[in-house]
Amino acid sequence: MCRKEEPMEKNIVEKILAEHLVDGNLAPGGEIGIRIDQTLTQDATGTMAYLQFEAMNVPRVRTELSVSYIDHNTIQIGFENADDHRYLMSVAQKFGIVLSRAGNGICHQVHLERFGRPGKTLIGSDSHTPTCGALGMIAVGAGGLDVAQAMAGEPFYLACPSVVKINLEGRLRPWVSAKDVILKVLEIFSTKGNVGTVFEYGGEGAAALSVPERATIANMGAECGVTTSVFPSDEMTRRFLRLQDREAHFVPLSADADASYARVVTIDLSRLEPLAAKPHSPDNIAAVRSLTGISVQQVCLGSCTNSSYKDLVTVAGILKGRVAHPDVSFILAPGSRQVLDNLARDGYLADLIASGARLMENACGFCIGNSQSPQSGAVSLRTSNRNFLGRSGTLDADIYLVSPETAAAAVITGRFTDPRDLGMDYPNVRMPERLVIDDRLILRPTEATREVEIYRGPNIGAPPVNTPLPDTLAGPATIKVGDKITTDHIIPAGARMKYRSNIPRYAEFVFENVDAAFARRALANKEAGRHNIIVAGLSYGQGSSREHAAICPMYLGVRAVIAKSLERIHAANLINFGILPLTFVDEKDYDALDAGDDLEIAGLRTAVAESEILTVANRTKGSSFAVRLSLSARQKEMILAGGALNVRRQE
Ligand code: MIC
Ligand code: SF4
């Protein structure tokens, strides 16, 4: 490893990466491999991750800590998810993984509370893993296969990020909170164009934010598409860890005085006002005041973004003595059992229930659209982090992302209301001196549990494996989509998520909400011996880390995506499963291409090994165009072999 390029004065990101670097140089853009201290999985991505881990024949995880959470598929209509949970519990015991049982809470909230540690590295098979950046760790979302490899003790590979400093000045005014800060960040940076970047927060405004507030901000950096977000580890961090009975895990961490950054952006917190992300993208920002009066049919509080004790006590304070407007269905899903338990003990839960809250499980629930889909054409205000079209389960609903304060105001009035207009004092929440901590839903493996037999229900199939890259790729542009296609568009979650462990069944829903005939068309092409090619605009694969957005298309015979640009986790997942992530050299070629055009890339194996630019022949139009394939040597090997599992097998 060459450390020549490492600066003397380091920012926080450089410090943690330098400590964990095992391959490559710390120069932005190049591929680096880092040692991973902790991993997390959740049940919707976890079964695939552990099936892949099993295929690696490693007797016990090789990380300091690996945690398996059951928090996404907890509705359990049909036997599938209950069986999957049993599988996850048995795998955890056998391979030395800590398991957080259903009912204990959402992975990111629980990991922040119970496991995250300043200075450590964490990867998780969920895109909001960066939530733990609030504790001063490098926490990155990844595909399940990457997490499986980290559990097997292998480095995690990523493009060495460039670091943008977000300098927070001033203090938040009453009624303005952490959600408004990250919505401002989304307004500035948008959801595209931030691949390969990390946001490092600092300044006096950051120092005054509590860890749960920092967590809301770090969590939704995922919506900008950054690799992760990180805060210093300081007295606020110590205070949070003390409250969690974990002060021993505190280590201070800050940037050196002369640390350098690719860019510095300053936000004056005292000038912020309540904001909302309008349908259907988290970067479609407006001032809440400009939306005043729009009638609201549903308000959902919770998700991994805004369901800390402080968030919910603030809402309880606003709603105390009032009841939900008759037009509003008021949903409440606390982020963890710890939050719910303490709300109950301190009396706030009673205030929330009295105000008409429909209490849901401590789980993802409404956020992933597997419950509480709003009525047709509804306006739903949510404190969660994504409002992509159709994600709520109701295609024509309008979902707005707002702070807990703005959500509470709408519960009372039945309309979009700037909470400053409620005419009441802001309920300033003082955190208690002690929280009740109860880890009895966390199961720890022992030596004895090594002997456990793994439970496999009928829903679980072996993860499909691709074939080596052919020398000629020939087939239609089976679909042409526009900009900002999210993984929710590619493979919906919600009610379909129960098939996560059954790829042939789940693959039937690829592009369900975009072009319902896609899966049948693609399968027919595959059966006719042709390849399928997806053509896309900017920022293809935004959103979740679900590797199913690569595995299911692979199963349908998709061999290449040609896009104007691709998002980080999705591009890595495509490579892991042997699908070519290509980008147009000249974006005008996107316009010239039509869905159904017959495309061909010849001499592919040599071209992949030797060049970055490939030529695509458009047989329908009688023309050709150039595409870029930017891969490291390691990634080339995977693409040629037809995916990471094949490389492992060859080894
Ligand atoms: C999401 O918020 O979209 C999810 C569901 O948590 C996903 C993971 C998944 O699809 O299982 C994510 O964010 O990675
Ligand atoms: Fe769960 Fe929603 Fe958070 Fe994803 S974004 S982990 S679905 S709460």
Q: To test ligand 1's pocket by mutation, which of 126, 305, 307, 551 has the most ligand atoms within 8 angstroms of CB?
A: 126
In degrees rounded to 5, what are phi and psi of residue 86? -60, -45
Tell me, in angstroms, the distance from the centre of ligand 1 to residue 487's CA.
Answer: 9
Residue 488 Cα distances to 411, 492, 546, 577, angstroms: 28, 5, 9, 19
Q: To test ligand 2's pocket by mutation, which of 111, 125, 126, 486 has the most ligand atoms within 8 angstroms of CB?
A: 126
Q: What is the pLDDT of residue 403?
A: 98
CA angle 556, 557, 563 (to 5 degrees): 100
Ligand nearest to the CA of 371: 2
Tell me, in angstroms, the distance from the centre of ligand 1 to residue 364's CA.
Answer: 9
pLDDT score of 136 more than 60: yes
Average pLDDT over residues 158-185: 98
Residue type, 323: V
Q: To test ligand 2's pocket by mutation, which of 70, 75, 106 has the most ligand atoms within 8 angstroms of CB?
A: 106
pLDDT score of 4 more than 50: no
Tokens describing residue 486: 């999210």
In degrees rounded to 5, what are phi and psi of residue 200? -110, 120
Tell me, in angstroms, the distance from the centre of ligand 2 to residue 545's CA.
Answer: 11
CA angle 338, 341, 347 (to 5 degrees): 135
Beta strand pairing status for 398-401 and 442-443? unpaired
- CB 303 near ligand 2, within 6 Å: yes
Q: To test ligand 1's pocket by mutation, which of 69, 147, 544, 570 has the most ligand atoms within 8 angstroms of CB?
A: 544
Ligand nearest to the CA of 569: 1
Beta strand pairing status for 121-124 and 38-42? parallel
Q: Which of 353, 540, 313 is nearest to 435 (CA)?
A: 313
- Per DSSP, what are the bridge partners of residue 533? 477, 560
pLDDT score of 2 more than 60: no
Q: What atom in ligand 1 is closest to the CA of residue 125?
A: 14
Question: By alpha-carbon position, which residue is closest to atom 1 of ligand 2?
Answer: 364
pLDDT score of 237 more than 90: yes
Q: To test ligand 1's pocket by mutation, which of 43, 111, 127, 573 has the most ligand atoms within 8 angstroms of CB?
A: 127
- CB 384 near ligand 2, within 6 Å: yes
Question: By alpha-carbon position, which residue is closest to atom 2 of ligand 2?
Answer: 367
Report residue 431's pLDDT band, with 50, 70 and 90 as the boundaries: confident
Residue 17 Cα distances to 122, 125, 250, angstroms: 12, 20, 18
Percent of the chain with pLDDT over 90: 96
Q: Which of 551, 556, 545 is nearest to 487 (CA)?
A: 545
Q: Show the ligand 1 pocket: residues with CB < 6 angstroms.
A: 44-45, 72, 126-128, 141, 368, 493, 543-546
Burial-class residue 268 by CB neighbours within 10 Å (0-12, 13-18, 19+): middle
Q: What is the pLDDT of residue 7?
A: 75
pLDDT score of 469 more than 80: yes
Residues 227 and 129: beta-carbon distance below 8 Å: no
pLDDT score of 467 more than 60: yes
Average pLDDT over residues 444-466: 92
DSSP reduced 3-state for 465:
coil
Report residue 385's pLDDT band, with 50, 70 and 90 as the boundaries: very high
Average pLDDT over residues 452-481: 94
Distance of CA 307 to the CA centre of its chain: 16
- CB 364 near ligand 2, within 6 Å: yes
List, edge to edge, every strand of the sheet that includes 21-23.
21-23, 31-34, 156-159
pTM as predicted: 0.97
Residues 354 and 315: beta-carbon distance below 8 Å: no
Tell me, in angstroms, the distance from the centre of ligand 1 to residue 127's CA.
Answer: 6
Task: Render pLDDT for 556-579 as a digit per residue (tens, 0 to 9).
Answer: 999 999 999 999 999 999 999 999
Tell me the torsion sign for CA atoms 390, 392, 397, 402.
Answer: negative
Ligand nearest to the CA of 45: 1
Helix (H) or strand (E) holding 122: strand 121-124
Residue with tokens 């499986």: 148
- Per DSSP, what are the bridge partners of residue 479? 534
pLDDT score of 474 more than 90: yes
Q: What atom in ligand 2 is closest to the CA of residue 367?
A: 2
Helix (H) or strand (E) holding 276: strand 275-277
Ligand nearest to the CA of 551: 1
pLDDT score of 1 more than 60: no
Query: How far is 360 from 372, CA to CA, in rounded Å?
Result: 10
In degrees rounded to 5, what are phi and psi of residue 321? 80, 0
- CB 329 near ligand 2, within 6 Å: no
Q: What atom in ligand 1 is closest to the CA of residue 548?
A: 10
DSSP reduced 3-state for 264:
strand
Q: Which of 367, 372, 335, 461 is nearest to 69 (CA)?
A: 335
Cβ neighbours, 10 Å, residue 9: 11
Ligand nearest to the CA of 391: 1
Query: How far is 415 from 48, CA to CA, in rounded Å?
Result: 42
CB burial string 605-614: b at 16+ within 10 A, e below: eebbeeeeeb
Q: What atom in ligand 2 is closest to the CA of residue 335?
A: 8
Report residue 15's pLDDT band, with 50, 70 and 90 as the boundaries: very high
pLDDT score of 267 more than 80: yes
Tell me, in angstroms, the distance from the centre of ligand 1 to residue 105's CA.
Answer: 15
Q: What is the pLDDT of residue 52?
A: 94
What is the SS3 assignment for 315-340?
Answer: HHHHHCCCCCCCCCEEEEECCEHHHH
Q: What is the DSSP string of 10-74?
A: --HHHHHHHHHEEES-S-TTSEEEE--SEEEEEHHHHHHHHHHHHHTT-SS--SSEEEEE--SS-
Ligand nearest to the CA of 364: 2
Tell me, in angstroms, the distance from the centre of ligand 1 to residue 9's CA.
Answer: 36
Cβ neighbours, 10 Å, residue 423: 5
Task: Render pLDDT for 16-46 as a digit per residue (tens, 0 to 9).
Answer: 999 999 999 999 999 999 999 999 999 999 9
Tokens describing residue 371: 């419950």
Tell me the torsion sign for CA atoms 176, 178, 179, 180.
Answer: positive
Tell me what the pLDDT averaged over the chain comes to: 96
Q: To test ligand 1's pocket by mutation, which of 40, 45, 47, 305 has the most ligand atoms within 8 angstroms of CB?
A: 45
Ligand nearest to the CA of 360: 2
Q: Between the CA atoms of 116, 118, 121 and 122, what dihedral angle is there, to the nearest 10 degrees?
A: 20
Q: Which of 584, 588, 594, 592 is nearest to 615 (CA)?
A: 584
Query: How far is 611 from 339, CA to CA, in rounded Å?
Result: 53
Query: How far is 594 from 390, CA to CA, in rounded Å?
Result: 25
Question: By alpha-carbon position, which residue is closest to atom 3 of ligand 2?
Answer: 304
pLDDT score of 463 more than 90: no
Q: What is the pLDDT of residue 5?
A: 57
Q: What is the DSSP letter of 158?
A: E
Q: To test ligand 2's pocket by mutation, which of 220, 368, 391, 496 has the most ligand atoms within 8 angstroms of CB?
A: 368
- CB 380 near ligand 2, within 6 Å: no
Tell me, in angstroms, the distance from the centre of ligand 1 to residue 121's CA.
Answer: 20
Q: Which of 279, 337, 276, 324 is nearest to 114 (CA)?
A: 337
Query: How far is 421 from 173, CA to CA, in rounded Å?
Result: 14
In degrees rounded to 5, what are phi and psi of residue 103? 100, -15
Q: Does residue 650 or residue 312 have the better pLDDT?
A: 312
Cβ neighbours, 10 Å, residue 594: 12
Q: What is the pLDDT of residue 6?
A: 66
Query: How far is 524 from 322, CA to CA, in rounded Å?
Result: 58
- Per DSSP, what are the bridge partners of residue 618? 599, 623
Query: How far is 366 from 384, CA to CA, in rounded Å?
Result: 9
Question: By alpha-carbon position, which residue is closest to atom 6 of ligand 1?
Answer: 126
Q: Which of 607, 612, 651 is nearest to 631 (CA)?
A: 612
Tell me, in angstroms, the distance from the centre of ligand 2 to residue 318's CA.
Answer: 25
Q: To test ligand 2's pocket by mutation, which of 108, 110, 360 has the most ligand atoms within 8 angstroms of CB?
A: 108
Average pLDDT over residues 523-532: 98
- CB 128 near ligand 2, within 6 Å: yes
Task: Render pLDDT for 212-228 as a digit per residue (tens, 0 to 9).
Answer: 999 999 999 999 999 99
Q: What is the pLDDT of residue 461?
A: 84
Percent of the chain with pLDDT over 70: 99
- CB 382 near ligand 2, within 6 Å: no
Query: How far is 178 from 339, CA to CA, in rounded Å?
Result: 18
Question: By alpha-carbon position, which residue is closest to atom 5 of ligand 1?
Answer: 368
Question: By alpha-carbon position, which residue is closest to atom 4 of ligand 1?
Answer: 544
Q: What atom in ligand 2 is closest to the CA of residue 42?
A: 6
